[in-house]
Amino acid sequence: MSATRHFLTDLDFTPDEQSKVLDLAAAMKADKYGYAPYAGPQTVAVFFDKTSTRTRVSFHAGIAELGGSPLVINSADSQLGHKESIADSAKVLERMVSTIVWRTFAQSGLEEMAANSSVPVINALSDDYHPCQLIADLLTVREHKGKTKGLTMSYLGDAANNMANSYLLAGVTAGMHVRIAGPEGYLPEARIVEAAQQRAAETGGSVMITTDAAAALADADVVVTDTWVSMGQEDEKEARLKLFTGYSVTAQAMKLAKDDAIVLHCLPAYRGYEIDAEVIDGPQSVVFDEAENRVHAQKAVMTWLMVASGLAEDDRVEL
């Protein structure tokens, strides 16, 4: 029997696997109801420790489109990690559901869940990574640029968060030149940078970590940002707004990127802070394509993991 595959970080897919998942996502977008790895319907448990709009809707819709039954559970309604250990929960869930999706805080919880589960575990966001978002983003880049390899992707803002980590790791896995810009003290950890550099050496991508927003933006093909005030940081809002002012994606800043650069934002967006309204609502913005692509990307991730784990069969899915 195949070893169970999980998707906990952006590096859980090799460059070749990531490309195949992106190919599958494009095929699924063109054939919305053509794949049914969860026929039965089989159940997929989707746990939320954090609030959500796009993640909740996209997983619910995607699981249904794959022939499955989504079981969405808020943390307050379960024993997971509270009255019952994560390991025990995993051993119970693997007997009842076909995949476990978890939007949570600590990456260690996801790792413990995966270590004790014989069905795929998917990181729907943790404090360290947001890998499903990046599959959607790379699909969007492919759609608008025709490729990922060799393109320059520049991220501005809070560069010490899960989004910056995932843009760095997934971007170089896709063969991109990834530039991350933020103020001192808000840059990726050394372990993330080192892992990205190692992966970039395999793919021909590259890594730039800088405090210079202009240097990061120069001739960029893809410009990315994220909220400056994430969940749990509301008390720091005023200080953060002042700190990150020089890293806003404004119309003036976009003049440093290529004329045909596209703009990504994982949403929700706060116009006038990390991005100007005229940019996110302008012709270079592809944020709503990006949001839609969460459905197709996550369907591809779930299907690929099921087939790779020997839990579903589909000759169209390349491993």
Q: Which of 127, 135, 134, 184 is nearest to 159 (CA)?
A: 184
| 221 annotated as a binding-site residue | no
Catalytic one of 6, 103, 177, 240: 103
| 131 annotated as a binding-site residue | yes
| 226 annotated as a binding-site residue | yes
| 5 annotated as a binding-site residue | no
| 55 annotated as a binding-site residue | yes
| 266 annotated as a binding-site residue | yes
Q: C-alpha distances in angstroms, 147 versus 211, 220, 269?
A: 28, 14, 26
| 133 annotated as a binding-site residue | yes
Indicate if 294 belongs to the active site. Answer: yes
DSSP the chain: -PPPP-BSSGGGS-HHHHHHHHHHHHHHHHSTTS--TTTTTPEEEEEESS--SHHHHHHHHHHHHTT-EEEEEEGGGS-BTTTB-HHHHHHHHTTT-SEEEEE-S-HHHHHHHHHT-SS-EEES--SS--HHHHHHHHHHHHHHHS--TT-EEEEES-TTSHHHHHHHHHHHHTT-EEEEE--TT-S--HHHHHHHHHHHHHHT-EEEEES-HHHHHTT-SEEEE--SS-TT-GGGHHHHHHHTGGG-B-HHHHTTS-TT-EEEE-S---BTTTB-HHHHTSTTB-HHHHHHHHHHHHHHHHHHHHHHTTS---TT---
CA 161 – CA 259 distance, rounded (Å): 28
Indicate if 56 belongs to the active site. Answer: no
| 199 annotated as a binding-site residue | no
| 4 annotated as a binding-site residue | no
Indicate if 296 belongs to the active site. Answer: no
DSSP 134-154: HHHHHHHHHHHHS--TT-EEE
Indicate if 133 belongs to the active site. Answer: yes
| 18 annotated as a binding-site residue | no
Catalytic one of 6, 177, 294, 296: 294
Q: Which of 285, 215, 26 is nearest to 138 (CA)?
A: 26
| 54 annotated as a binding-site residue | yes
| 103 annotated as a binding-site residue | yes
Indicate if 226 belongs to the active site. Answer: yes
Catalytic one of 226, 284, 296, 298: 226
| 42 annotated as a binding-site residue | no
| 79 annotated as a binding-site residue | yes
| 231 annotated as a binding-site residue | yes
Catalytic one of 130, 179, 240, 265: 130
Catalytic one of 128, 177, 221, 266: 266
| Residues catalogued as catalytic | 103, 130, 133, 226, 266, 294
Provide the annotated binding site. 52-55, 79, 103, 130-133, 162, 226, 230-231, 266-267, 294
Provide the annotated binding site for carbamoyl phosphate. 52-55, 79, 103, 130-133, 266-267, 294
Provide the annotated binding site for L-ornithine. 162, 226, 230-231
